Amino acid sequence: MIRTGGIALGNLVLDVSRKSGFYPDIVMAGPEPLRQVRKLGAIEPQARFFSRNRGFALLVRKGNPRGIHGLVDVARSGGRIALPEATSEPEARARYRAAVDDLIGKPAADALFAAEAPNFPGRIGIVHRDLPEMVARGYADVALTQYHLISYWTRIFPNHFALVPVSGAERFFVKIAFGRVVDALRPRARMAFEEFFFSRARDVYPRYDFARMNDDEYAAPLALD
């Protein structure tokens, strides 16, 4: 949205610009996306970390009919796995591949990725939407993605999904940081929100299956240049 100056919703295009007023004062993302936005000159050169997730887990159907209790069980059970799409989310896919290689070895990781479910009609390439859809509709038997996302899906759809932890996956966490937009349109509101946010986020995020950050991690600076 920031890079192109707009977002298309069907045949409706929203102007994302300072002139329209529909423009962010804050950008929250992982280090690499924030560095990309920084290269556009849109955000300040330093951000602050506010959350750390618990790595990844497996999403299965309620009752776990395939009996999948770990990464090696996916190929062994003959199941099909939903993964981040190679074209729309290459960074996430590469990160998961490296982690799976580390946890179970390359031969077993090759077998897991070979069990990938094919795309389905209408897939848009957003894991938050695609992966639970694939499991719910039977396009896949299991999905691999972030622990906190699966925790959320199992809470709101308890009759459809279950979470399977992956031993050792907590080592492959991702941190998210708070970036300030340069010359914010609403500086007083931004300042007030930032003060409120950092007073609460450290306690709120762990309630929803994020990891608790220690004193050295929370609000630590992230250099973007």
User: What structural domains and CATH numbers belong to the chain?
Assistant: 6-52+174-223 (no CATH), 56-171 (3.40.190.10)
pTM: 0.90
**What does the pLDDT look like over 6-64, one tens digit per residue?**
998 889 999 999 999 999 999 999 999 999 999 999 999 999 999 999 999 999 999 99
87: Cα separation from own chain's centroid: 16
- Can you give 66-105 as a three-state secondary structure string? CCCCCCHHHHHCCCCEECCCCCCCHHHHHHHHHHHHHHHC
Round to whole Å and give the CA distance between 56 and 147. 5
Query: Strand order of the sheet with strand 161-165?
Result: 81-82, 142-146, 56-61, 161-165
Q: Number of H helices and number of E strands within the chain?
A: 7, 10
At residue 122 the predicted structure's pLDDT band, cuts being 50, 70 and 90, is confident
DSSP single-letter state for residue 137: T
Round to whole Å and give the CA distance between 211 and 75. 29
**What does the pLDDT look like over 65-113, one tens digit per residue?**
999 999 999 999 999 999 998 877 888 899 999 999 999 999 999 999 9
Round to whole Å and give the CA distance between 31 and 47. 9
Average pLDDT over residues 201-211: 97
**What does the pLDDT look like over 137-192, one tens digit per residue?**
999 999 999 999 999 999 999 999 999 999 999 999 999 999 999 999 999 999 99
Indicate the range of 5-9, 118-122, 160-164, 203-207 predicted with least confidence: 118-122
118: Cα separation from own chain's centroid: 21
Round to whole Å and give the CA distance between 43 and 38. 5
At residue 87, the pLDDT reads: 77
At residue 119, the pLDDT reads: 87
At residue 120 the predicted structure's pLDDT band, cuts being 50, 70 and 90, is confident
Residue 6: strand pairing partners:
15
What are the residue ranges of helices labelled H in the chain?
31-39, 72-76, 90-104, 106-114, 127-136, 147-156, 187-204
